[in-house]
Amino acid sequence: MKIETAVADWLSRFEKAGDSALPSLFHADSHWRDVLALTWRIETVSGRDAIVQALRKARRPSQVEIDPGRTPPREATRAGRDVIEAIFRFETAEGRGDGVVRLTPDSDGTLKAWTLMTGLEELKGHEEQVGRARPHGESYLRDFRGPNWLDLRKASAAYEDRDPAVLVVGGGQAGLSIAARLTQLCVDTLIVDRWPRIGDNWRTRYHALTLHNQVQVNHLPYMPFPPSWPTYIPKDKLAGWFEAYVDSLELNYWTSTELEGGRYDEGEGRWTVTLRRADGARRTMKPRHIVMATGVSGIPNIPDIPSLENFKGKVLHSSQYEDGDAWTGKRAIVIGTGNSGHDIAQDLQSSGADVTLVQRSPTLIVNIEPSAQLPYTLYDEGPSLEDCDLITVATPLALAHKTHQILTERARQIDKPLLDGLERIGFRLDFGENGTGWQFKYLTCGGGYYFNVGCSDLLVAGKIRLLQFADIDRFTVDGARLESGETVPADLIVLATGYKGQEQLVARLFGKGTADRVGPIWGFGPEQELRNMFMRTPQPGLWFIAGSLAQCRIYSKYMALQIKAAEVGLIDGAVEPSS
């Protein structure tokens, strides 16, 4: 049987199946991930019986068929298992969707679903403006006495006569992605950011910074990077693109603006927030939704290190570090062995500083090429960016675990010479929980790994000294006194100690009650999804988006669809309790 025929047969049976026939369509160990299409939730259900029970309660799709505009059904290997993978389309009463099914044969040769994903693509009657006929009318006629385009843009961004429906806090990739999506859905959206210039959240980072994953994975919605761009994007190039992106997509953006706090009025269904502008003036606004786009972690984590107050040199958190040139010929101690700690140590060493890197806990090390790029091989297989994104969304947590265990083991073999060298100098290695590697360390705790772009080699070669934090007895006026009695002198100590979770920022801005109501943010919950990310939360009108450029591109679409659905009355603004 041809692949297309087999897939079409399964899709037809899935669409027509009554409650009693559903079990015959799935393997016992199957998974169904719904992304808004049939449940208005983002959740994963595992096991045939649980899937059947959930589907019986969900909206049933119609017009289920292979999507002719997408990558055709094909054979693939996912999580070490050979499958037939197919993209299909369907409709519900409220919207149009696309999905992915992965079929494998049962013991008798019958093809059944191992994984199924159903995702909402657009709302009927509320489709995105992008890609549709450009407005024309009589726009070729100039109104020589009326406002021109620039006048209208300035008036729109000033918000002198209205409040936005959505206030986005943070103007990095997360804020830009969700604002772009909402703007295309005709939802009035304002971004506010504390930096004085668009892109400063990247521009002000240390001098040598480039992205650690490759350009083809990192496009923002609607505006892909030019084909002339380098494989690894420099921070200043990305910062400049952010400025061009805001201008090109006509996003409303206030720089040098900080959210001081807010409260939610249940009766009005609105927030009352206070914004402080660059000149100190304050503006009160009443948006219906607040999107926190301030990153996985919001507030620098500065640990209480006993005796550090004795040190009379300069102490910086990694977020304050800019460049190593000021420390040429000086001595530096960098505490922390994640990406920031390694990169800062290497930047200082290349600037002529004498550097000691202090390890506090075991750290996952992976060479940036090819090992760190292994999770992105899908984006080099041939399908379009949109299809790769959909296939990525269609990977449930259990399969992602297995996939990353396989990739981590492969990376360990590729990187074995480096890892052996690190162990010889006493570096403590980690490979993630159950060997799931760096990506799951990021998704669960936001760090604890380093993409080696040379610092690990400097450590092995002895050009940067390695020190275990447990070997430090105390800090002194001029450095660190070790348990052995030796003193490691320093002029600078950099705390590459990460950031606090977003719960801390929520409590500071909206009160402890709101933070408690929302609960944990990031990391995986019982529904096998990142907690309170990209979806409705228990606090009406409060949303969170964070992550890599790819994550923000992918999940901003689904978040925007939920906000639009809330705006037009299709769903409530707060999460429904799990059944």
Domain positions in the chain: 3-123, 152-298+502-567, 302-497
Contact at 8 Å (CB) between 118 and 36?
A: no
**Predicted confidence (pLDDT) per residue in 101-158, tens digit:** 999 999 888 999 999 999 999 999 999 987 666 665 555 567 777 888 899 999 999 9
The mean pLDDT of 55-73, rounded to a whole number, is: 95
CATH H-level, domain 302-497: superfamily: FAD/NAD(P)-binding domain (3.50.50.60)
- In order, the DSSP letters of 374-393 are GGGGGGGSSS-HHHHHHHHH
3-class SS of residue 375 = helix
- The pLDDT value given to residue 135: 62
- The pLDDT value given to residue 498: 85
Distance, CA of 306 to CA of 217 (rounded, Å): 43
∠ CA(533), CA(537), CA(542), 5° rounding?
Answer: 90
Q: How confident is the model at residue 368 (pLDDT cuts 50, 70, 90)?
A: very high
Q: Read off the tokens for 67.
A: 């999507």
Give percent of the chain above pLDDT 70. 96
Contact at 8 Å (CB) between 378 and 400?
A: no
**Greatest alpha-carbon span in the chain:** 82
How many residues are given for the chain?
579
Distance, CA of 457 to CA of 450 (rounded, Å): 12
pLDDT over 80 at 298, yes or no: no
- The pLDDT value given to residue 527: 85
Write the DSSP symbol of residue 532: T
Strands (E), 39-110: 42-46, 62-66, 74-78, 81-91, 95-105
The backbone torsions φ and ψ at residue 140, rounded to the nearest 5 degrees and listed phi first, read -70, -15
- The answer to whether domain 152-298+502-567 and domain 302-497 are alike in fold is yes
Q: For 152-298+502-567, which CATH class? A: alpha beta
The mean pLDDT of 529-537, rounded to a whole number, is: 94
pLDDT over 50 at 577, yes or no: no
Nearest to 352 by CA among 478, 468, 492: 492
Contact at 8 Å (CB) between 469 and 358?
A: yes
Please give the torsion angle defined by the CA atoms of residues 125, 126, 128 and 129, in that order, rounded to the nearest 10 degrees: 70
pTM of the model: 0.93
Residues β-bridged to residue 66 = 88
- The pLDDT value given to residue 204: 87
Contact at 8 Å (CB) between 253 and 246?
A: yes
Write the DSSP symbol of residue 497: -
- The C-alpha R_g of the chain, in whole angstroms, comes to 26
Averaged pLDDT of the chain? 93
- Considering the four listed CATH numbers 1.20.950.20, 3.50.50.60, 3.10.620.30, 3.10.450.50, the one that applies to the domain covering 3-123 is 3.10.450.50
Tell me which of 298 and 417 has the higher pLDDT.
417
Nearest to 26 by CA among 5, 57, 11, 47: 47
Q: How far is CA 58 from CA 19, 34, 38, 79, 526, in A?
A: 11, 10, 5, 28, 19
